[in-house]
Structure 1
């Protein structure tokens, strides 16, 4: 029984992994359940055993990503303790874009772009991930403020939000333009602006 359950979980995880890759590559609307099943070597009976429908799969995909993010199983280091760490994080995003020929944006943002008003559960899932990332930025700036290293009036929350928007916008722009020049320039100006608040 245990072996059967383990095989079943492996099948489910394989479907989720394949779905994430396809959603990231071509969006949710352009990805059919049949395509996911073909690439994950799974049958429709297996799919409907684990997922009610395609929206339920998208929900599971985003939740799985969120869990891995919290467990630090995603190859992105959101532990920011210094300005150098912050710069390294942005450089990671830029290097990632270059490594894939600027062919994709953020995997979760790609899902978010196609959300409709009736996909509220998935929207909340995506929000959790965006909030997690914003909080990572904010913890860094709040830490600086607590140590008296930010000027009076500097808002860690606003600074974090700006970092998040530049990261997301930079990845999207790189995908559209097929190059990272605008992303790199934006990061350069962002860091210069943020450092104006250093005490």
Structure 2
């Protein structure tokens, strides 16, 4: 499968066609996460998805088409999970619970794998402008989910009205991405915890008097869902 990127084919009109396309994307996403885009071949996707090579070519014009679909797939998975957790944020303890989920899910995997979006960005962003743009949009969506949670805390007077939630949201996302890279290298969550806790301490520094008096919860909960 070549990499000339001619644009993603239209979504199939039949339920069977959509299911086949989604199965191909899911298989490719798993392989690209484990082996990288360069290390994922058409035959490996074909075998993992249980389809023929002609079916892959029917739904995707080239490897870039398939990779773009994988970016969208991974973005939707990540955002579905994080948006759900961040939508529950009504106080600072709920932010700590989100932090605990990130740390515990990374700890359970011993730091392996890193962030699916971060891994794709590291591999593709420099040489593939279309991928860089797609991934930038994905990270912007994640950033918006974090910002929305912080905005809720401003609206309910947990945080002061002059809190720079744009800067804090960006710091939290940067802490996640940098922490996951270091977790992947060191096989532990020390850096992820340090980055998140420092960013969240800054968030707490903007708390109103009532909230500032409440203790922070930091004990990770192993019953939280895995990503």
TM-score, length basis structure 2 = 0.76
What is the CA–CA distance in structure 1 between the aligned matches of 2:161 and 2:48, rounded to whole Å?
A: 54
**Corresponding position of 1:20:** 29
CA change 1:147–1:9 in 2 (3 A) is closer
Q: 2:38 aligns with which of 29, 34, 37?
A: 29
- For structure 1, the 5+ residue unaligned runs are none
The answer as to 2:181 corresponding to 1:172 is yes
CA change 1:44–1:63 in 2 (3 A) is same
Following superposition of structure 1 onto structure 2, how do residues 13-162 of structure 1 map, counting pairs within 5 Å? 13-68=22-77, 72=80, 77-79=85-87, 80-151=89-160, 153-162=162-171
CA change 1:110–1:133 in 2 (3 A) is same
Aligned residues of 2:111 and 2:187 also touching (Cα < 8 A): yes
Aligned residues of 1:151 and 1:197 also touching (Cα < 8 A): yes
Q: Which has the higher helix share?
A: 1
Aligned length: 195
Root mean square deviation of aligned Cα: 2.4
What is the CA–CA distance in structure 1 between the aligned matches of 2:157 and 2:56, rounded to whole Å?
A: 54
The answer as to 2:192 corresponding to 1:183 is yes
What is the CA–CA distance in structure 1 between the aligned matches of 2:34 and 2:52, rounded to whole Å?
A: 22
CA drift at 1:153: 4.7
Aligned residues of 1:97 and 1:104 also touching (Cα < 8 A): no
